[in-house]
Amino acid sequence: MIKVKLVGATGYGGVGLIELLLRHPEIEITTLIAASETGKPISHFYPHLAGLCDKMVYAADAHEAEGEADVVVYSTPDGIGMQLAPEEVKKGRKILDYSGDFRFNSTELYAEYATRQGLDTDHKAPELLQDSVYGLAELHRAEIADATVVGNPGCYAVACILGLAPAAREKMIENGKIICDGKTGISGAGKKPKPGFHYPEAYDNTYAYKLAGHQHVMEVERELSLLAGSDIKTTFTPQVIPMARGILATLYGTLPQGVTQEKVLAAYTDFYKDSPFVRVSDSPSSTGHVRGSNFVNLTVACDERTGTLRIISHIDNLIKGQAGSALQNLNIMFGFDEMTGLNLPGAHP
């Protein structure tokens, strides 16, 4: 059994991985670490786990925090993983980090990201950053397999990049500009209560936020530009809708002359033919169809009347957008079939 030490166990991203690993035959969690909710079993903080996972949660400086581990997963905010990872790597452990710490494999790109986020621009582990791999399996399977350090992608970024990757590579985006109109469930903001997420404020309500720039834009532009071989600029409008789980990203670009809906559909089908979690179609889908699972449903729905490339991308923000991608990466990093423990549907309805 591959052993996982999970840092940041008591957030939604942490508990999501715990849930998934409870059904995995080859990977187990050995050690749970958290910042503030410690000293009690994880099932105290998440009672749905009672009897299924009652492991103790320890503080990072507890002596039990050392743990046994083949890999350390950081389900933590920006800035934690890069501080703690070097010591773990010295012990021969692999690293998977959920934050922006290892999504940009150069100190220059990281500094740009940090600037946008108002963070310290100095990366704390530049030597690890250099060889880190962006953990979007559908684009970087081979590098992930060989990586020591993997940076798990942002939830919106997963929906946007997978939604536009084939179009970018096949030059189906005219003039290098795309629009991403994103709608997210509220769990994307984590478990900390805030005024806008208070049930009476959030129900029957929807609103846009971070109009000046969202932290995932840079990943999207980097990955799509790499695929296109030229700059792709993104206008991104994140919006909160009254759901707990799910992202719907409606993606728009200008179709080059002669590119039809049919050609786009064919390109997408081909691009993802070996990606078992991506379901391409020209029919409407819904976030309900991917809720609770690691699937990505892409609807190709170009508007030929107006010459518009239009792709609708559906994921569960906490699975394919977070813990599911993490497990998919772990599977690849340790040589298991990438669907292991993930080839299951969510519960409907």
Q: Which residues are catalytic?
A: 155
Q: Give the C-alpha distances (Å, rounded to integers) separating 196 from 184, 188, 199, 207, 236.
A: 13, 13, 8, 10, 20
Q: Give whichever of 65 and 339 is closer to a second copy, judged by the CB atom.
A: 339
Q: Give whichever of 72 and 319 is closer to a second copy, judged by the CB atom.
A: 319
Determine the interface stretch with a second copy among 29-37, 46-54, 62-70, 83-91 (rule: CB under 8 A).
46-54
Which SS3 state, helix, strand or coil, does residue 129 take? helix
Half-sphere exposure of 44 (CA within 13 A, CB side): 9
163 binds a second copy (CB under 8 A): no
Among residues 39, 40, 47, 54, the one that binds a second copy under rule CB under 8 A: 47
Residues 300-339 that bind a second copy (CB under 8 A): 301, 303, 305-308, 310, 312, 314, 318-319
Name the one residue in this structure whose structure tokens are 């990201």. Answer: 113
Q: How far is the CB of 158 from a second copy (least distance, A)?
A: 17
Beta bridge partners of 315: 247
Query: Closest Cα partner for 88 from 41, 45, 149, 137?
Result: 149
Q: Give whichever of 83 and 206 is closer to a second copy, judged by the CB atom.
A: 206
Residues 219-238 that bind a second copy (CB under 8 A): 233-235, 237
Determine the interface stretch with a second copy among 3-11, 51-59, 101-109, 124-132 (rule: CB under 8 A).
51-59
To which H or E segment does residue 148 belong? none
Task: State the number of binding residues for a second copy (CB under 8 A).
Answer: 87
Q: How far is the CB of 143 from a second copy (least distance, A)?
A: 26
| 170 vs 168: CA distance, rounded Å | 6
Residues 78-117 that bind a second copy (CB under 8 A): none
Name the residue type at position 193.
P
Half-sphere exposure of 261 (CA within 13 A, CB side): 14
Name the one residue in this structure whose structure tokens are 């039809």. Answer: 260
Residues 167-206 that bind a second copy (CB under 8 A): 177, 179, 181, 183, 185-187, 191-195, 197-206
Q: Give whichever of 133 and 312 is closer to a second copy, judged by the CB atom.
A: 312
Q: How far is the CB of 318 from a second copy (least distance, A)?
A: 8
Among residues 287, 294, 328, 331, the one that binds a second copy under rule CB under 8 A: 287
Among residues 8, 16, 153, 154, the one that binds a second copy under rule CB under 8 A: 16
CB 327 within 8 A of CB 24: yes
Name the residue type at position 312.
I
Query: Closest Cα partner for 183 from 236, 116, 252?
Result: 236
Among residues 79, 86, 256, 276, the one that binds a second copy under rule CB under 8 A: 276
Q: What is the DSSP letter of 255?
A: P
